[in-house]
Amino acid sequence: MTLQVSGTSGLLQNYDYQVLTNGFSYTFTSSNVLMANPAGALTSGTITMPATADNGMTITISTTQNLSGLTINANTGQSISSPPTSLSAQCSVVFIYRSTSSTWFVYNLTQTSQSGGSGFDYKNRFINGNMQIAQRGTSATITAASTIAAGYSTVDQWYVYCTGANVTAAQVAGSGAIKNNLQITGAASVTAVGIGQRIEQLNSYDLAGTTCTLSANISNSLLTTVTWTAYYANSANAFGTLASPTRTQISTGTFTVTSTLTNYNAQISVPAGATTGIEIVFTVGAQTSGTWVVGNVQLEQSSTKSDFSPRPFGTEFNLCQRYYEVIGVDANYSVIFGYAAAASGEATYYLIPYKVTKLIMPTITFAGTWNTSNTAVSAINVIGLDTANINVQSSAAGSVYYSNGNAGAQIQISGVIP
């Protein structure tokens, strides 16, 4: 199907719509031809520039799918200056021919991901893959054989579990361009440790039936094998517990690691039925001493690995708050429930709006030491995914307040996938 439209130069451009499949071969015959919409990610295929090219001839290649396996060739007697590689979904590249050097030059490249690229995007399906956000705290003891819910103790969205003995999980400083990593410190009698993230259905639905690449920076000062396993939930966002999982394994593999932080990657063929949420778990065996470090973890819809791509901190923080947030984290009285009571037993209600709508009905916890006067929180009513209702009741007439006037006093709103 060919459609002519006016290009930016004012010339007519021939838009040749093609559905491409693996192993295809296509040669341009005229200027200003746009290729589009391959049938899924391409792992092989060749596009060749026109045999006859005039000075200023323009070729545009555009796609809605991943073209990681695409080979772009010049024709006889021509060359291409710095041809792009690992073109991703939603990309467009423009070539302009210069007859004086018989060379096609890349004039403009726009895409969500390219090997060696930079900038912010949403290709990474993990949240907080660079371990920079730790609302619950920067270090925690992980109790052996505890629940996944208890394992959400340090960096947001990542749970840690262990067997045999307790371990310490901590957000630690990285080096160079890497600000933070997640570190597990082993202990005698530890038999296994796991680090995992459950990706909700709405953030992974479109991965079904595609090839994804899992990558991570990993080091271990004691062990040399790290196992990764991918699962999908048997029903929407319901993965079950460690003891009684309700998930189906997609695939598994191992990385042979060293004490030097190194990036590793593996390809995962996600089945068509995996539309209910995806879980990735990294595990090691007897981490009886030493440290295991993980960072820059990425899951992308691509058959090849690209560089880790962060999101703006504020954006990442909001993504984390969909599952967990705190209100009142200092001693500046940022949370005050107060009123004047005429008699004991009077009650009033306060709405607590969440900063971000939660995935599931959250649990509300008052943590730390609160300042009080003639009052107590008698009930916490979770109204929905975006609001809670706090019942404050007086114990005597007069001034009544309940406030977080102490550092660490906070309201914790948790709606993580348990």
CATH number at residue 230: 2.60.120.260
> Are 314 and 343 found together in one domain?
no
Which pLDDT does position 17 carry in this prediction?
55
Which pLDDT does position 326 carry in this prediction?
92
Looking at 1-5, 10-14, 110-114, 261-265, which range is the least confident one?
Answer: 1-5
Which pLDDT does position 115 carry in this prediction?
39
Name the nearest CA neighbour of 107 among 88, 89, 80, 87: 80
Which pLDDT does position 8 carry in this prediction?
33
pLDDT (average), residues 19-37: 67
Which pLDDT does position 92 carry in this prediction?
66
Chosen domain end from 305, 321, 337? 321
pLDDT interval class at 4 (50, 70, 90): very low
> Are 330 and 381 found together in one domain?
yes
Which pLDDT does position 91 carry in this prediction?
61
pLDDT (average), residues 385-411: 86
Percentage of the chain lying above the pLDDT 90 cut? 49
CATH no. for residue 364?
2.60.40
Chosen domain end from 276, 299, 321? 321
Name the nearest CA neighbour of 411 among 382, 128, 374, 395: 382
> Are 345 and 390 found together in one domain?
yes
Whether 218 is covered by a domain: the verdict is yes
pLDDT interval class at 219 (50, 70, 90): very high
pLDDT interval class at 6 (50, 70, 90): very low
Whether 314 is covered by a domain: the verdict is yes
> Are 305 and 335 found together in one domain?
no
pLDDT interval class at 42 (50, 70, 90): low
Whether 103 is covered by a domain: the verdict is yes
Which pLDDT does position 114 carry in this prediction?
40
Question: Is residue 258 pLDDT above 90, yes or no?
Answer: yes
pLDDT (average), residues 202-214: 94
Looking at 113-127, 263-277, 286-300, 341-355, which range is the least confident one?
Answer: 113-127
Which pLDDT does position 96 carry in this prediction?
79
Q: What is the pLDDT of residues 332-364, one digit of tens each?
A: 777 888 888 888 988 888 888 898 899 999 999
Q: Comparing 306 with 267, which gets the higher pLDDT?
A: 267
Which pLDDT does position 243 carry in this prediction?
92
Q: What is the pLDDT of residues 73-95, one digit of tens each?
A: 888 888 887 666 555 555 667 77
Name the nearest CA neighbour of 283 among 308, 254, 303: 254
State the Cα–Cα distance between residues 61 and 36, nearest whole angstrom.
Answer: 7
Chosen domain end from 321, 344, 368? 321
> Are 103 and 20 found together in one domain?
yes
State the Cα–Cα distance between residues 242 and 196, nearest whole angstrom.
Answer: 11
CATH no. for residue 18?
2.60.120
Which pLDDT does position 39 carry in this prediction?
58
Which pLDDT does position 118 carry in this prediction?
41
Q: How many domains does the chain have?
A: 3
Name the nearest CA neighbour of 335 among 356, 364, 357, 362: 364
Q: What is the pLDDT of residues 370-384, one digit of tens each?
A: 888 888 777 888 888
Looking at 14-23, 66-75, 161-170, 243-252, which range is the least confident one?
Answer: 14-23
> Are 244 and 317 found together in one domain?
yes
> Are 150 and 271 found together in one domain?
yes
> Are 172 and 238 found together in one domain?
yes
pLDDT interval class at 38 (50, 70, 90): low
What is the domain extent for residue 375? 325-414
> Are 167 and 93 found together in one domain?
no
Question: Is residue 192 pLDDT above 60, yes or no?
Answer: yes
pLDDT interval class at 249 (50, 70, 90): very high
Which pLDDT does position 20 carry in this prediction?
67
Whether 27 is covered by a domain: the verdict is yes
> Are 164 and 287 found together in one domain?
yes
Whether 288 is covered by a domain: the verdict is yes
State the Cα–Cα distance between residues 150 and 241, nearest whole angstrom.
Answer: 11
Which pLDDT does position 286 carry in this prediction?
98
Looking at 252-266, 281-295, 305-319, which range is the least confident one?
Answer: 305-319
Question: Is residue 1 pLDDT above 80, yes or no?
Answer: no
- Indicate the average pLDDT of the chain: 85
> Are 168 and 308 found together in one domain?
yes
Whether 380 and 390 have beta carbons less than 8 Å apart is answered as yes
Which pLDDT does position 84 carry in this prediction?
64
pLDDT interval class at 13 (50, 70, 90): very low
State the Cα–Cα distance between residues 201 and 238, nearest whole angstrom.
Answer: 10
Which pLDDT does position 90 carry in this prediction?
54
Q: Comparing 215 with 372, which gets the higher pLDDT?
A: 215
Whether 116 is covered by a domain: the verdict is no
Which pLDDT does position 83 carry in this prediction?
67
